[in-house]
Structure 1
């Protein structure tokens, strides 16, 4: 090829050469490109669903709140708040809500419910869905209640039955199917009951110490700017122990709530994509290695480095484009499943719409990632010498260290940038890249270690088939490294899921002994506590705790008034500390869920009149105070100066009452307070008996059965684990495709060896045994590496993050490990079937052609 001819060869010539060469290897190219399809599908599905979720939240934020904005407080509005409400034209509707025990129907069964008394045509947006439908508009005038539909089914309630709330007995006029603000998870513990506002006073449940929320609902005036309204009024209301929430801010909060879960799923999907790309790199490496002789021939007849490199680059990018297209379309279809999986988490129905952006992202991912991960083996063609066409034993194509370093840095840079895109936080992205490197390095190290041990300690005394299968682990063109990575990462993900779920369940575990409380009695008034305790003991149950609770707010932090700090735009003190009404207790000892981090407890005040207190570490951090700093609290109108003498680490995951602020005894005993009593019921029947007896005599008391809470928590964890399992399944499937691709890519080399063995007299049974043993070793190495890596990682999580005892699940050992190992064996043996079913010469001719 002369210089003039060379200059005329352009992109068309490259496409023709890539097409002609690709036709002969089409199946292999399609197979290893299929390894990125599932990863792209998972990423596109989650991205597309996330966009739909944001759009739905934006469109339905009014329906979720039921109004344009709400003013809420946990105490009756004072004169200043009332003036603000009047300045807005008065509330269009209002409600008062609180938790309470209810007696249901004629059976006398009791249940903790969330009572909401409503006045006015609420909701203004969305729908109060009831059965019958007319009950949504008539229940206030009829003086009846709307009771959660699930609760009615559980207790066999029908229309016309009655429900007792406090001192009041009301008829049930409708079942409540859905309502704005009725969160599905909260409703599982305390189902909603709606009643007329004007009957709330008759219940006798609005008392000092009761946990009550007052809400005022507004419909915005035409052209009213809610963002400006929020910015102007919210600080004023915060100073008066009230708050302003617009449907815009509520939508943003809801979006952030599900955004974190979406980010986690994105990372799981991205790992599946990375795993597929590892398969691409390995397959392209072997594919290009077999093409080096052809590259040398092309260079002998005048092709340039750029031209030979571009031929194979075009092939890879075309397959990446195809894989991206298939993965994107699959992802768009897959997102239809997410609303079903997340049912119960979302307080509204998701309307799935079609968008081109995720498809474009999938196409770009397919092209870019396939090209990037195939770059290292592709660059081998650049360094092939024309003389290699004549050299039989020369592999050629050795790259410089600078080229390898450039490729590695490009790969890490892309992973970091895309992780930053998914997580929107460079620290998390850097942690993810570090974690990926650690996992891949450990799995790679395990594979290389096994190969090195087998090579050095080779068991020469073993039988022929056992020796041959071990030799295959480190022979030329072996797939030990890529298969251990593919199998190990998938196993690691699924095993970590099971181990972590066990840690979380252990945190919520209730010990079944008489000293472990499982009944919590809330809102017990001071004059009731002695009688309530005696009643519990008369029913044969021990009263384990009698915890006093006093409500207060922070008035000063280190001699700066809270009102002054609110106005300071440069202040970095967390605003929740300034606005929160703290519920504190007093005692001179720590409990099992508390650990003293610094200071001492109990302690004496350093100055007369100054009360020593202990803060939880999160409050100390957010309030930016340390040992020796002073805080002034407003204890229901009485200022009290305190000094921080101890900072505690609190295990908030323990199923018991924990407090941010701890006072010593001898200070708050005469302050207005209520009490929380705890007891242990040996079974559900005894628990129900105690609840019925106490509710009938003390209707203002709320009782929480921790068994029911634990059931809800387990249900939530089951749902979450199912979703994560579903995403981890993509990694397993991707690993299987990588496995098939890796095996089939080196199939020609395997077939030549197997045919040679048959020609020398080996029987089909021996060849099958070699394949079985080899893939048994690979499966065991990969799964054991993944399981033990997950075991180590989960143990570290339990020790340093959850601070819990780690008792690993048996599922990864008895189900995942043998299943994946058998799967690997099956794939390996299946790929050898053509060698056993045909004559050696026929197989060779077929493969060569």
Structure 2
């Protein structure tokens, strides 16, 4: 019976199935990609690091660190640092990451070069391997030279890839490999230089790397060094991929929920039409269970078919994810199919179809045989208890599925509450709108306008589900655009001559005045001329840093105890700072207690407050200080911010280096200034914030593209639900429209009634979605990003009219058969 009845209603049941296919496809494709990512990380963990384990230090290794390194016998080593490179061929310069390597690194993975032999010969020949993008950007060829500091080297070949690097990191500071023996000739590793020493090891198969890491890590941490194994790297990358996967899964789950709502709505209308048929079956002796099972089998079969088709589509879609995310991954992802997501996709199709169809299906259980004789199709026999149990089952399922995706009960609860609030507001808006229309009905309007409003709260209307589908889809995509604008605003460089966009690092005291004069000679102002002094924390509130590392009760962040702070001194706050506690001390005279100002986040991590004592180790000299004030620092501002600031009169004679900054109005001037400075002062580094901004914007655009790609599923599912809901409502509207024609209504009147009805629905749904998005984004900007909210005009100018037009188009397509055929023919066909 289910098969026979289903064949008669196949076109409508296919619309139910379309509602679930895209949601299943989104979930399956993301699950498959997540599984692929985990397996690839396990397989390629050694290739990503290039070694079994690495010991690294961001300062000259101490005797204890050297002893540990020597005892383990490193297979290769390197020192890496950022510097300006000059290309004599064209006089251009660029910030690069220099990696000076000794030994045949990497031991796993491949050092890909062009020519291929350059990877093996660059150290012997005494040349450089230069990043491929950098070679293209500056029109460099093999045989050209590169100047790093005071060292000039021939370019031996092009560097295409090296283990552990990503396209994003290479775009900020492209990698250049040089032989380790030439480091001293660059004269770049001076006092205050930012550098990192790394020692690479291969381990015998009998060595337990986890035990080695557990044993050595505390010792190395106390010496400001670190050990990292390929197992740790694998876990770290796994956690990162899980976070990305959770976000993408939630986006897919929303698409699935939207499709499920479409099923619930479509089944609701479908079953209401079948109640007479169920009543006839019961008159002929069919039991409740039999009549209920007929339609349950139909929905389950449609869910199964939708799950299979959605899973097949998901298998195809997973091929796109490596292309979308390749620039964020340090390795190529090999695609393969695992059974778990496929089984899950098929089961989800059946489970969600049946679960969300249960409420309307209950109508078949409680329908009376007397329904055959009743004119009204309203059935109030459905008990409240059955509805509550079904709703509870739906909520529990959503919560459990969310928990499975997020692996955190609190986040899962927040997600369910968020979904419930969004749906409640959209549903409440629909109800309020219908009540307002009913209460303040415009009696003086014309016939077509009145009839279009009456259709919004007629029996079997689709107002609620259409507003939910339109509103939720619009809400998702609008929030994406609004939050993207907030993120871009946080990274935007203000076009103001008082805001520096060129920063000069590693300026030695002997160069300070000459560099400042060079900036002025080029026609620009010196906006910042800051002294930097490096120091470490020796003790906090009388407890030594070494003791605090072992103290699990105080819970002082280990980063605070291990970090080498770069501090400065000045007599005033800057634009990115706000005093939140204590009193700012501008200057201290000789003999007075030393008072410092900390950023509030550092104070939180160090577990200190105003009045507490901190002893700093300033290059071997212990300096006792008291916390005088706490500052709120906006780290997103493109200027020199510091966690620790001393007053004037304390650090002027301490060993230091300097940072200078200026503002350059255009790219040509910036390039000319950099060339002049690098030629005159080859040991300084120049950061062009324009390039940094371009990279950040590029990253945000790529992230936005990925989010857009996922939002596409939700929007497309919403459109499918919209088409299904509107097309299903066609069967309620046909007789009504035919009756209107029989009573003398003209085709253009029926067309206007339909057009106005869908115009109201499209405008209301999309407007509420954009309004909710506007409010949510305002909260995000204020609470999370702490930025002024400047909304994008795209949702208002594109989504509002665009989605309204789509709703209108689908609605009008329903009425074509009524307008093009005689009323009697349509009634016979329906009969």
Say whether the fold is shared (TM-score over 0.5): yes
SS of equivalent residue, structure 1 residue 552: strand
Q: Distance in 2 between matches of 1:191 and 1:25?
A: 62
Find out whether 1:417 has 2:397 as its counterpart.
Answer: no
**Counterparts of 1:32 and 1:61, CA distance in 2:** 44
Q: Does 1:732 align with 2:715?
A: yes
Alignment pair present for 1:667 and 2:645: no
Match for residue 506 of structure 1 among 471, 482, 489 = 489
Q: Which aligned pairs between 1:236-635 and structure 2 lie closer than 5 A?
A: 236-393=219-376, 395-568=378-551, 572-602=555-585, 611-635=594-618
Q: CA deviation at 1:41?
A: 0.8
Candidates 630, 655, 659, aligned match of 1:647: 630
Tell me the CA shift for residue 420 of structure 1.
Answer: 1.6
The equivalent residue for 1:24 is: 8
User: For residue 60 of structure 2, what is the aligned residue in structure 1?
Assistant: 76
Tell me if 1:62 matches 2:46. yes
Q: Per-residue displacement from partner, 1:692-726 (whole Å, max 9, x unpaired)?
A: 11111111111111111111111111111111111
Distance 1:605 1:546 in 2: 21
Q: Deviations over 1:156-175 (max 9, x none)?
A: 11111111000011111101
Note if contact 2:782-2:788 (Cα within 8 Å) is conserved in structure 1.
yes
Query: Do the aligned residues in 1 keep the contact of 2:570 with 2:586 (CA within 8 Å)?
Result: no
Which residue number in structure 2 is paired with residue 723 of structure 1? 706
Inter-partner Cα distance in structure 1 for 2:246 and 2:774: 24
Q: Which runs of 5+ in 1 are unaligned?
A: 1-16
Alignment match, 1:694: 677
Q: 1:791, 1:808 within 8 Å by CA — same for their partners in 2?
A: yes
Gaps of at least 5 residues in structure 2 are none
How far 1:306 moved relative to its partner?
A: 3.3
Take 1:358 and 1:606, find their aligned partners in 2: how far apart are those partners?
69
2:18 is aligned with 1:34: yes
Q: Secondary structure at the match of 1:472?
A: helix
Secondary structure, in 3 states, of the residue corresponding to 2:79?
Answer: strand
- Residue 417 of structure 2 aligns to a residue whose secondary structure is helix
Q: Give me the whole-angstrom Cα distance separating, in 2, the residues matched to 1:606 and 1:368.
A: 76
In structure 2, distance between residues paired with 1:605 and 1:316? 80
Scaled by the length of structure 1, the TM-score of the pair is 0.95
Contact 1:105 1:157 in 2 (8 A): no
Query: What is residue 845 of structure 1 aligned with on the other side?
Result: 828
Q: CA deviation at 1:608?
A: 7.8
2:213 corresponds in structure 1 to 230
Are the aligned partners of 2:262 and 2:721 in contact in 1 as well (CA < 8 Å)? yes
Cα displacement (A) at 1:326: 1.2
1:573/1:427 CA distance change after superposition, 3 Å: farther
Cα 1:389–1:644 change in 2 (3 A) is farther
Alignment partner, residue 684 of structure 1: 667
Distance 1:383 1:606, change over 3 A: farther
Q: Aligned in 2, Cα 1:650/1:461: closer, same or farther, shift over 3 Å?
A: same
The 8 Å contact of residues 381 and 397 in structure 1, kept in 2 or not, is answered as: no
Write the deviation string for residues 651-671 of structure 1: whole angstroms up to 9, x where unpaired. 222222222222222222222
1:783 alignment partner, one of 744, 766, 771: 766
Q: Structure 1 residue 82: deviation in Å?
A: 1.1
1:793 is matched with which residue?
776
C-alpha spacing 1:626/1:399, structure 2 compared with 1 (3 Å): farther
- Contact persistence 2:356–2:394 (CA under 8 A): yes
Bigger drift between 59-68 and 387-396 goes to: 387-396
1:287: Cα distance to partner?
1.5
CA displacement at 1:641 relative to structure 2: 2.8
Q: Is the 8 A contact 1:614 1:644 kept in 2?
A: yes
Q: Distance in 1 between matches of 2:587 and 2:425?
A: 53
Partners of 2:618 and 2:281 in 1: CA distance: 88
Residue number in structure 2 paired with 1:52: 36
Change (3 A) 1:633 1:339: same
CA distance in 1 between partners of 2:243 and 2:572 (Å): 37
Q: Which residue of 1 aligns with 2:166?
A: 183
Of 36-45 and 293-302, the range deviating more from structure 2? 293-302
What's the counterpart of residue 751 of structure 2? 768
Cα distance in structure 2, aligned partners of 1:365 and 1:597: 52
When normalised by structure 2's length, the TM-score is 0.97
Against the structure 1 CA distance between its residues 679 and 483, is the aligned structure 2 distance closer, same or farther, given a 3 Å change threshold?
Answer: same
**What is the 5 A alignment of 1:826-841?**
826-841=809-824
Q: After the TM superposition, which of the residue ranges 92-101 and 775-784 deviates more from structure 2?
A: 775-784
Task: Look up the match of 1:152.
Answer: 135
**Is the partner of 1:510 in helix, strand or coil?**
coil
User: Could you tell me how far apart the structure 2 residues matched to 1:689 and 1:155 are?
Assistant: 15
CA distance in 2, matches of 1:613, 1:407: 62
Kept after mapping to 2: 8 A contact 1:382/1:397: no
The answer to whether the 8 Å contact 1:605/1:643 transfers is no
Residue 583 of structure 1: CA displacement?
1.9
Contact 1:46 1:262 in 2 (8 A): yes
Say how many residue pairs are matched.
Answer: 831
Question: How much has 1:397 moved relative to structure 2?
Answer: 4.1
Q: What is residue 170 of structure 1 aligned with on the other side?
A: 153
Per-residue Cα deviation, 1:202-252 (whole angstroms, up to 9, x for no partner) = 000010100011010000112211111111111110011110011111122
User: Structure 1 residues 192 and 396 mapped into 2: Cα distance closer, same or farther (>3 Å)?
Assistant: same
3-state SS of paired residue (1:590): coil
Question: Could you say if the C-alpha distance between residues 292 and 627 of structure 1 is closer, same or farther in structure 2, counting changes exceeding 3 Å?
Answer: farther
In 2: Cα distance, 1:326 partner to 1:727 partner: 19
RMSD (Å), alpha carbons = 1.9
Residue aligned with 2:686, SS: strand
Q: Answer yes or no: is 1:132 the counterpart of 2:115.
A: yes
Aligned to 1:815: 798
1:497-532 deviation line (CA, Å, top 9, x unaligned): 111111111111112221011001111112222221
Classify 1:471/1:530 alpha carbon distance in 2 versus 1 (closer, same or farther; 3 Å).
same
Instruction: Mark the CA change 1:58 to 1:105 in structure 2 (over 3 Å): closer, same or farther.
Output: farther
Shift of 1:425: 2.0
| 1:205 alignment counterpart | 188
Instruction: Name the residue aligned to 1:637.
Output: 620
1:279-324 per-position Cα deviation (integer Å, ceiling 9, x unaligned): 1111111112222223333334444333333332222222112211
d(CA) in 2 for partners of 1:823, 1:431:
33
Structure 1 residues 394, 259: closer, same or farther in 2, change over 3 A? Answer: closer
* Cα 1:606–1:699 shift into 2, 3 Å: closer
Looking at structure 1, the residues matched to 486 and 692 of structure 2 have their Cα atoms a distance apart, in angstroms, of 17
Deviation digits for residues 737-776 of structure 1 (CA, Å, limit 9, x no counterpart): 1111111222211111111111112222222222222111
- The farther-off stretch of 578-587 and 205-214 is 578-587
Change (3 A) 1:604 1:385: farther
Alignment match, 1:5: none
